[in-house]
Amino acid sequence: MTRRPDLGALIADLPTARFGRPLFVHESVPSTNDLARRLAEEGAGEGTAVLALEQTRGRGRLGRSWASPPGGLYLSVVLRPRLPPARWPLLSLAVALGAASGAAEASRQQVMLKWPNDLVTSGAKVGGILLEAAADHAVAGIGINASSPPAALPPWGGVLGVALPPLLRAVLVHVEQSVDLVYAEAGQVLDRWRARCLTLGRHVRVLGAEVVEGVAEDIDGDGALVVRTHSGARRIVAGDVSVREAVG
């Protein structure tokens, strides 16, 4: 049986201005994104957060499910974007960057990013972000396999190997910094993203509305992946990327 983590000290001593204020903690819920969305609809401010120790119907990107056994971090944060809607995809990059920085700090491991928002350690996906947008708010759902039982994860899933309280604290601190930075100077978030990104410079195959193959060249100012194909550069705004060999 997994021991319930002690989050009291963390909540009392959280060094953030908005993120995790307040933080609602649940034993088990279908999806923290649903609870956070309801709070946002009732007027909750940016940073209001919902944590669950387990999800029974965790959602992933592209309509997939997200395995959510006890031992993982399942966190959703209300955002009140201070960006024009066309630039909201940058929020998802900012949250992924903050989550990766927090995960790296708490675990003392290198945590890389795979476009659009996978957290990867030692070649395995250990976390992901699901940003769900509405007219006047967005909910950023963060899932990280902190110390999840490997048998409960899909074959491609890895485990970070870190306790929940320090990971939660580091993630809230870094995601807040990263979201503040995207509001103030989005270019800096993109630079930091590129530096942590394992997709760039690699042959990729993107499964989206169509299949695109080529070399991942850049992440542009709106957060799209730019892929150099035989017929020229293509901007990818959504899809699933498989990374092949490094180029040159």
3-class secondary structure, 131: strand
Q: Are 94 and 181 in contact (CB under 8 A)?
A: yes
Q: Based on the shown chain and the rule CB under 6 A, indicate whether residue 48 belongs to the binding site for ligand BTN.
A: no
Q: Which tokens in the block code for residue 206?
A: 């993107």
Convert 91-113 to b/e letters by CB count within 10 Å (16 or more is b): bbbbbbbbbbbbbbbbbeeebbb
Cα–Cα dist 42/58, whole Å? 22
Binding mask 15-34 for ligand BTN (x = CB under 6 A): ----------------xxx-
Kindly tell me which residue out of 14, 46, 48, 66 binds ligand BTN, with binding defined by CB under 6 A.
66
Task: Of 67, 65, 35, 70, give the one whose Cα is nearest residue 50.
Answer: 35
Tokens of 74: 């399942």
Single out the segment in contact with ligand BTN by CB under 6 A; choices: 102-110, 125-133, 191-199, 233-241. 125-133
Q: How far is the CB of 213 from ligand BTN (least distance, A)?
A: 22
Interface mask toward ligand BTN for 76-115; x: CB under 6 A: x---------------------------------------
User: Would you say 146 and 160 are in contact if contact means Cβ atoms under 8 Å apart?
Assistant: yes
Of the candidate residues 69, 89, 143, 157, the single one contacting ligand BTN (CB under 6 A): 143
DSSP reduced 3-state for 113: strand
Q: Is 12 exposed, middle or buried (0-12, 13-18, 19+ CB in 10 A)?
A: exposed
61 scored as a contact of ligand BTN (CB under 6 A) = yes
Beta carbon nearer to ligand BTN, 92 or 101: 92
CB of 29 to ligand BTN, least distance (A): 9
Contact 160, 121 (CB under 8 A): yes
Closest to ligand BTN by CB, 91 vs 215, is 91
Rule CB under 6 A: choose which of 5, 20, 47, 58 binds ligand BTN: 58
User: Which residue has the closest beta carbon to ligand BTN?
Assistant: 128
- Size of the residue set binding ligand BTN (CB under 6 A): 20
Q: Considering beta carbons, is residue 47 or 143 the nearer one to ligand BTN?
A: 143
Q: How far apart are CA 193 and CA 219, in angstroms?
A: 9
Task: Give me the amino acid identity at 196.
Answer: R
Question: For binding to ligand BTN (CB under 6 A), which residues are involved?
Answer: 31-33, 55, 58-61, 64, 66, 74-76, 118, 128-130, 141-143
